[in-house]
Structure 1
C-alpha cells in the first residue's frame, strides 16, 4: 500500500470513470491535495503522502481539490475560477464535471453513513455544497 515517500501505483479510478460514463485519460493523480499531505523540510526536501494515488483524467485532480479550496474560505464560483486557469478544466465538457460532482457528492454521503470522523462529514458537506452549485441549487 502506498504511503509517505513511496512511489505512486495505479488504482481503480479509471474504472469508476468508465462505469459512470465519464471519459478517462491516463494521468497520475494525487487525489488528496491538501496541506497535510505535503511536507517541505527546512533543507527543502519534500515528502509527499501518496496514500490515494490513482490514474485518470487530469481535470479530476482539480475536482478533488475544490473541497479543500472551499474549506480555505473560497466560494464554489471562486474555486472554479481558480481551476479555470488549468487547460484540462477548461477543456472538459460541463456535463462531465457536473456528473463527477454528483458522483463525488454521493460518495461523500455514503462515507458519512459508515464513518463518523469529523473530517469525513466536513468533506462530504463541502463536496455537497460544490455539487449544489454545479446544479444551481441554493445552499
Structure 2
C-alpha cells in the first residue's frame, strides 16, 4: 500500500479516483497500464462540481463518494500528483492534497481532496461524477 510521499519504491500504490481519471474520461490515460483492482464508496466525503472536474472534501459521516481504485507505479503516482497540483512538501499550497482513506469494503487507497474554496460550487449529492 501507500509508502508516504516517496516515489522510489518499486511497489504499487492504490489510488482511488472519482473524476476525470475514471475509465472513459479524458485523464484516464495518465493511469497507463495500471490495473483497476477495486471500486466502491468512501464515507465521510462530499463531491462538488467545479466545472470541468469535481473535487472531494471531508464532510459528515453520512456522505459518500464513489471511486475506482487502481494499483499505480511510483512514476504514475508522481504524474497524478502533478495533475492534481499536489506538492508533497507544501500541502498548504496544493490544489489537491492526497490522503489515505478506506473504502466501505475495507481496503485503503490514496484519494485527492480538493484544497481550495468550494464557495459557489454545487454539491453532487449522489457522490458520483458526472451526476
More strand by share: 2
* Superposed pair shares fold, TM > 0.5: no
With the length of structure 2 as denominator, give the TM-score of the two structures: 0.26
Query: Which one has a bigger Cα radius of gyration?
Result: 1
With the length of structure 1 as denominator, give the TM-score of the two structures: 0.25
Which has the bigger relative contact order, CA under 8 A and spacing at least 6?
Answer: 2
